[in-house]
Structure 1
Amino acid sequence: GAAPAQAGGGPAAAPPPAIMHYSEHEAALLAEKLKDDSKFSEAITVLLSWIERGEVNRRSANQFYSMVQSANSHVRRLMNEKATHEQEMEEAKENFKNALTGILTQFEQIVAVFNASTRQKAWDHFSKAQRKNIDIWRKHSEELRNAQSEQLMGIRREEEMEMSDDENCDSPTKKMRVDESALAAQAYALKEENDSLRWQLDAYRNEVELLKQEKEQLFRTEENLTKDQQLQFLQQTVQGMQQQLLTIQEELNNKKSELEQAKEEQSHTQALLKVLQEQLKGNKELVETNGHSHEDANEVNVLTVALVNQDRENNIEKRSQGLKSEKEALLIGIISTFLHVHPFGANIEYLWSYMQQLDSKISANEIEMLLMRLPRMFKQEFTGVGATLEKRWKLCAFEGIKTT
């Protein structure tokens, strides 16, 4: 089915505008709107939002107090407006009573016509169907007339009760009655003005108390200042020790990595040496059989040392080999470009989020392992202290090229 129509047949109401941010300029404009009856509702909504957001502080308190005072002044205007509407309502009730009296008079005339039509000298000349309709119309008109009459009687009873109350108040005539709503509005306005003055006096007292407290803070003893300086110095010392600890921890991790590489190299070299010794033993037996033991054995020993040294050099070259494929070269180029425009470095998560836009399959671990394999091109530094500690990668190729 179709969606229900909007109330009044018009388009859907637009959402309320967003509340602007507080500033001294906006507050000055809002203070003027609070004094304008046509803009008061919109302005007080903004004022409430600012107060709830916590915009009131020592600097803005006077400006907010002035706006709150404007809101209080609007109470008097509202009470006067209410009194005006009550007067209009009384006049409307009087107009309605007069109109209802005229309507009731015409109902009486219509009912009289129906009653005359039902008398015998006229009734006998109507047909059966006409008589039925006239009888129905007569009953319906009498019911409506009775209802209007009862409503009018009710209004008159209310007026009599009001007149009775006025007589008890010694009010001689209706024109001399005091407008109680206006008096109530005036009394309320006076009370609010009195409260406003009292609150303003309290505000001045609070301001004096704050000034006294500030004066006491200005005259703090030199001993307290010295303690604050000592505490600040100790905090700086602790932060420095934490930074040193992180640096030592990083160096320890690097040494552990170097130790693991050395162990792996030693194990590989021992395995190769064992194989060569086996080959040497077999060659030695063969040489002794042929009668050339001493010279050939020396040649084999020289060959063994050369092979071991060559294997060690191959391992070193293998570890220092930075790139394995053209893709790694592309990654290194892109990462270098990215870090070059970030001179203060970037953490691995930031770098990974950038690289994923180019290669969705790449992982943060893959990027970090690639960076670690190129220590002369990329370096890792620690920034921050404690909870703000962060590891960042930086491009160091311009310094590394000088050490190669």
Structure 2
Amino acid sequence: MASASPPRDLLHFTQPADHVPLRLHVDFAQARDDFYEWECRQRMRAREERHRRKLEEDRLRPPSPPAIMHYSEHEAALLAEKLKDDSKFSEAVTVLLSWIERGEVSRRSANQFYSMVQSANSHVRRLMNEKATHEQEMEEAKENFKNALTGILTQFEQIVAVFNASTRQKAWDHFSKAQRKNIDIWRKHSEELRNAQSEQLMGIRREEEMEMSDDESCDSPPKKMRVDESALAAQAYALKEENDSLRWQLDAYRNEVELLKQEKEQLFRTEENLTKDQQLQFLQQTMQGMQQQLLTIQEELNNKKSELEQAKEEQSHTQALLKVLQEQLKGTKELAETNGHSHEDTNCEKQMRSGIWKHFGTVRVCLSTALLPLQTVPLIELT
């Protein structure tokens, strides 16, 4: 290349007269071709650098969010299916939120939006299960970390034992002064690390002991009582859920009644072939049917509320009776110990326990009888 060649210099040697020093004259010529080629290469590198930076910025720029479609009954049906899918839930709930914020909810679309909100609520249980799984994994990770820390501490103890054995006179006399100095430094460093690891492990164990003491400080009832109370609580929760579902059905029927009222107003305008008497008769029959259904649902709701209150009263009565029986049993034991009648105490205790379990059987029969109508109540559909 031209740039690699030496500059084209004009050398002029002048031979002066005798006894005069030699004079060298250099004339530098400017290489314009080389300078132009160097500028072209610099511009090309600048263009490549700008192109590379643009590609890097495009790659790191976050993608723009997808456009949200407009509300329609068809799109709402598709969105309801997406809300039931775990993989598409995040995208679907974003669309649902934008529709609600836009004000797409109306009297006609209220039931459809309510079903979509209910589908979104059904994912709460899945999220709680995922949280429980992650908490279990965290507990397992803590346990693995504690085991690994215990193994590390054991190895530190072995290393410190080696250093302590090396400092005994039997082996210490054979080492040189420099070797003794290094061994002493290593021993102190290992002991410091061992103490730090031991403190960390003891802190973890203290936290676990505090958690266990907090759990044990709570007065827990006997195992059988816990099982019975949990069963009663589960049945009460089932009654509460049934009550909520009936209330939601009642709200849905009320919305349908409102829709029918609107259709009633439209029928007066659109159906000109029908007479006013026929229209009124048809609407009156429809309203009577809806009123009967609403009355039936209201009666079922009141019955479920009364059954729930009765179950709660029965539970409180059972707990009070159990406490009284326990106090009587304790007094009987003390009386039997003072009189020395151990055989009679055993028979009395058996009778008291059989009485307790008979009463619990009566409570279970009552609760199962109260829950039996919930399983046989048919769903009323508006035709």
Higher Rg: 1
Which TM-score applies when normalising by structure 2? Answer: 0.44
Which TM-score applies when normalising by structure 1? Answer: 0.42
Q: Which has the higher contact order (CA 8 A, sep 6+)?
A: 2
